[in-house]
Amino acid sequence: MSPFPVSHNKGKEVGYAIGILKTGRNQKNAWYYPTFLAKPEAQNIYSNYGFVKASAAENKLKPLP
């Protein structure tokens, strides 16, 4: 039995947000991960595990509200 009612199942695609903390101790290294994820080779690796490849617009960092 699923722990959530079927109505909460929005589909097979899931989105994850990542960001860089303004108060992080190492700002330079903090940029490496999102920069890596935007590269085609990283998109290919993640897609092998069921993730949907992100567009260039989706890979652009945006401020949180």
Taking residue 43's Cβ as centre, other Cβ atoms within 10 Å add up to 17
Domain boundaries in the chain?
14-59
pLDDT tops 80 at residue 7: no
Enter the DSSP assignment of 12: S
Q: What is the pLDDT of residues 21-60, one digit of tens each?
A: 888 899 888 889 889 989 999 999 988 988 888 888 888 8
What is the spatial distance between Cα 58 and Cα 11, in angstroms, rounded to a whole number?
19
pLDDT tops 60 at residue 10: no
pTM of the predicted protein model: 0.61
Do 59 and 36 contact (CB within 8 A), yes or no? Answer: no
At residue 45, the pLDDT reads 93
